[in-house]
Chain A
Amino acid sequence: MSYLDYQVAQVPTGFRKILYINWPLVVLVVAVCCIGFLMLYSVAGGVLETWAEPQMYRFAVGMVIMLGLAFVPMWFWRGISVAAYVVCFLMLVAVDLFGTIGMGAQRWIDIGPVRVQPSELMKIALVLLLAAYYDWLDLRRVSRPIWVLIPVVLILAPTALVLMQPDLGTSIMLIAGGGIVMFAAGVSLWYFGAVIAAGVGLVAAVMKSRGTDWQLLKDYQFRRIDTFLDPSADPLGAGYNIIQSQIALGSGGWSGRGFMQGTQSRLNFLPEKHTDFIFTVLSEEFGFIGAFSLLTLYMLIVGFCLYSALSNRDRFASLITIGISGTFFLYFSINMATVMGLLPAKGSPLPLVSYGGTSLMILMLGFGLVQAAHVHRPR
């Protein structure tokens, strides 16, 4: 204990904090982002202005946010966690209201010149609130039903709002993100077992309901499931994206076709090649070596976060780090699994690589929190 006590006195202050930032993590994030710029340049056919350059500007802003947040002490985050959740929740309600008045599926809200996607912000806010909740909650009560019910409600309430937009992908990410924090906080595995069992039962019921009077999904939703199970059944229709993506990815081989040489992805065989399917471009042009390298970089990021979390004695900080890295993990693994045909096609970007401002900003904000937790860990 004496070693730890000694460290507590050493919590850095002021600009000295810069020395305590988790620099390997920063380097990894920058490296992944650079891969992103490269791929966006390639996808645009060797043009910087189309996607790569705007993405670089956003990345620059994101770096400032990440490093800036690293200086913010944990008590501040603990203090605003409830407020952040409530604000995000109200924004979701607002979006739903405007959405019904406006043009159907609306996910954006305009606050002056800034365009915010509340559902993305909610991912961070939810992790923040749940971490604060479990930091506050007596350890012995963590698995008591009533204290399990509260975070479940906290998760499901915004999820329901997001689902109404409708945005199934983000809803699942919210549930998964919240679930990871609950899991890390030590909620009994029985609950998770029960949820998984219920999920499997629900899927079975849904599949069985097909063609009966009590059919639980619409026909087109069933067809989407069919496409996932057998993309080749409808190669020019719904299965097109998955098949094209698999062809491009597989044709990369061991070392790929070479930078800017990907025929499939650059020739518009792939839709959304600069966003959801950018991993395909990477895999085609740099082959297994490139794809596996990116996977390794991602795992290193997750690993560094996890190591930081496990070595952090501040429960709140640990849970935030695990929650954010877990969400990040879900992000890239879902995207990769999708383009490889392991999961049904569903629009989700490849974190830090895909073109898109909101996703990048939220991720940098998240890594800012991870850094803050790392910098301000008790010593």
Chain B
Amino acid sequence: MKKTQRDIVDSNRRITRRGLMLAGIQIATVTTLALKLRSMQLDHAEEYRTLADGNSIKIRLLPPARGLILDRNGLIIAGNEQNYRVTLTREEAGGDVEPVLRRLAQLVPMPESRIDELLEEFSRRSAITPIVLADRLSWEEFSAIAVNAPSLPGVTPESALSRAYPRAGDFAHVMGYVGPVSDYDLSKIEDPEPVLLLPDFQLGKIGVEGRLEEVLRGKAGARRVEVNSTGREMRQLSRQEGEQGAAVQLTADAALQNYAAQRMGEESAAAVVIDCQTGELASICSSPSFDPNKFVRGISSADYRALMDHDHRPLADKTVQGVYPPGSTFKMVTLLAGLEAGVIDAGSRYFCPGYTELGTRRFHCWRRGGHGTVDAVKSLEESCDVYYYELAQRVGIDRIAEMARKLGLGTRHDLPMSAVAEGIAPDREWKQARYGQSWQIGDSLNASIGQGYVLASPLQLAVMTARIASGRRVDPQLIRSIDGVRQPVPDYPPLDIAESSLRVARAGMDAVMNSARGTARNSRIAREDWRMAGKTGTSQVRNITAAERARGVISNDQLPWERRDHALFVCYAPIEAPRYAVSVVVEHGGGGSAVAAPIARDILLFALNGGLPPPDAVPSDQRAAMEARHEAMQLYTPEPPRPGRSRA
């Protein structure tokens, strides 16, 4: 079809009309786009800029260095050490981590099982989560990995601070340990600090580490980093270092603590050394101990099992958690209760035929033949049970219990340690509440010699001794200073006990050590200026039946370990101006005078001397044995503290 000139003109007119309409639509569209652009980029730019910065700039927390824990002389008990480790991020390894792991295994020993474990973990975790491949590398291993970094894609060698306990087991129970934050920990903390959510943040779990967590933690620093939408870090914009936690100085002396630990050796025992005037704990040591470093590093299940299965219970802190029938060490309480109640005076006497009859029951004295006529001092000196049976019947349990509480038993002392036990100072009300039974007179007799319902921890026994020695209401103190600020020593009020009564009790304790018939005469201190007072205790952990008694009581040596008596001893020195009080409990150790007293005496001597006791401090016949004992110990010789290290 041939087009005419008219057609062409007509067509052109139409196309022009429609073309202009199209142009109009297009201009309208572009105007809309431009207006939207203007609205976003000019009117709302600020909002979007804010959103954009929130998008790409993330705050990454820097865990603060944990505060140091020092002994009273400034020696580090809990410090921080560089931990060299390597992490691997799957995304950076190009997705396949196994060849990288195999290559790494040539540089650091890694058993096949560990590789499988890691592969399994990589498959579970997100591709951008760094996973720790190896921890606590030596510097050689660490640098070998750093040098070979190009052939190990995604592997990052890094160093971080980790808690370390240079004194290993000595302070394990006092210090506790740190560990990774668990869900359980978080559930206990209201509004947890964000730093706690860091994957390898170390949180104080128990002991001083746990109780003073807030003080030790410090303040987290922060890095501003640019990240991409997958959370990968692209670069660091700024870095603000955190603030190290405050240094905590304990009242304890590392050298004394070490000596106490070694003196107790493999016994299942506890020793507490307390300053009679200030209440500062110079040593608080539970034996056997464990290495808290193992817990920080993640203890192997075999090691953990071994600790759990050990019949001497290394994990338990026997000093404050362990409660024992105090046995004869409780007799001061009963005596003081009697004196204060006016039931007896220093000269009052009872006759000991070897037992007391109460209805049809017989309560025996430890000496079958009896002690004859016994006064207050002699009752302690020879530890006559019958004297206290008689006394208890006249004083009554409520006054005994009240005296016990006055002396620090049956009350929970406020120490920054875990599971501080309250112990039991039983009275009528307590038994009614606890067992729904009324108090029997027999219960009073048992309680009067620290058996039956009475339970006390070594800490409480030490406090009791310090109070008797000083006549003041001393409370135990563990923290000497925080962040260099000396904790105030309270001005302890006098005990609500007549000085004359206390003097009788002290005279009795003096006689225990220093008179010819004293039960702990063998453990006395020979030097007159350190003259010591003490009290033995042997507490039964089993009932001795009448039938057994008739046959002859089986001696401790012939009993299995866990059925032997607990050996206890409390003491203080010097008598004239008491400085330190010591309590020692040896679980199933046998007799208090034979087992606990020598240990307590040696620890007391070390505390008094500020080092190994001089030979002339013990009776001449024991010097060789003591020398030999000290010879065998590998004692910790404290280096003088270097000022530069105090906040290392």
Residues of A within 8 A of B (CB): 1, 136, 138-139, 180, 183-186, 244, 246-254, 263-264, 267-269, 283, 287-288, 291-292, 295, 298-299, 302-303, 306, 309-310, 313, 315, 318-319, 322, 326, 329, 333, 336-337, 340, 342
Contact = CB atoms under 8 A, between A and B. Distances in A.
Nearest to A180: B22
Contact of B45 (A139, A183, A250, A319): A250
B126 to A, nearest CB: 14
Interface centre among A183, A263, A292, A313 (most CB of B within 10 A): A263
B230 A322 contact: no
A138 B15 contact: no
Given A138-B1, A250-B41, A252-B41, A267 B49 contact: no
A288 B37 CA distance: 7
A250 B30 contact: no
B52 A283 contact: no
Contacts of A326: 22, 26
B438 interface: no
Nearest to B48: A250
A48 to B, nearest CB: 20
Contact of B22 (A183, A249, A340): A183
B16 interface: yes
Contact of B55 (A183, A269, A313): A269
Given A138-B1, A329-B26, 10 more contacts: A246-B40, A249-B40, A250-B41, A263-B55, A263-B56, A287-B41, A291-B41, A299-B26, A313-B12, A333-B29
A73 B1 CA distance: 20
Given A292-B37, A342-B36, A184 B15 contact: yes
Contact of A186 (B7, B15, B41): B15
A309 B20 CA distance: 11
A251 B51 contact: yes
A267 B234 contact: yes
Contacts of B45: 250-254
Interface of B is mostly: helix
Contacts of B14: 139, 185-186
Interface residues of B, number: 47
Contacts of B26: 299, 302, 326, 329, 333
Contact of A184 (B7, B19, B33, B55): B19
A295 B10 CA distance: 34
B15 A315 contact: yes
B173 to A, nearest CB: 49
Given A254-B42, A269-B56, A292-B34, A310 B22 contact: no
B648 interface: no
A186 B11 CA distance: 9
Nearest to B5: A1
A136 B53 CA distance: 59
Contacts of A246: 40, 48
Contacts of B42: 253-254, 288
B48 A251 contact: yes
A299 B283 CA distance: 87
Contacts of A184: 15, 18-19, 22
B133 interface: no
Contacts of B36: 337, 340, 342
Contacts of B170: none
Contact of B37 (A251, A329, A340): A340
Contacts of B33: 295, 333, 336-337, 340, 342
